[in-house]
Copies of this chain bind each other. A is one copy, B any other.
């Protein structure tokens, strides 16, 4: 973790409280992807590989949604509170746009 990073966003993210849970879930997903590579190595049936990929998609979606929920509750709502009155609308609008764009990328 770089010092810069720490100062830019010091413990302030939506997901911070559940950091370890997210790392565990991502570790598990990493293992699932490794398992899929092994299935290819072992010449497993295409359909079974596709089923495992669908499971990884689903697990990643769940992680994304968790991050979205915590981001909205923390960062977007936080922007609404923290900003000074003159800047508020602009800053909140920018945060909402940023979150929506991220959601759009998840929807593809």
| Interface size in chain A (residues, C-beta < 8 A) | 69
B45 and A37 contact, CB distance less than 8 A: no
B30 and A26 contact, CB distance less than 8 A: no
B6, B41, B47, B56: which contacts A102 (Cβ < 8 A)? B47
B11, B34, B41, B100: which contacts A68 (Cβ < 8 A)? B100
Q: Which residue of B lies closest to A11 (CB)?
A: B43
A:73-97 near B, CB below 8 Å = 73, 75-77, 80-81, 92-93, 96-97
CB contact under 8 A between A105 and B41, given known A77-B96, A100-B68: no
B1 and A51 contact, CB distance less than 8 A: no
| A60 and B56 alpha carbons, distance in the complex (Å) | 9
| A88 and B16 alpha carbons, distance in the complex (Å) | 21
A:15-45 near B, CB below 8 Å = 15-16, 19, 22-23, 26-27, 29-30, 33-34, 36-37, 40-45
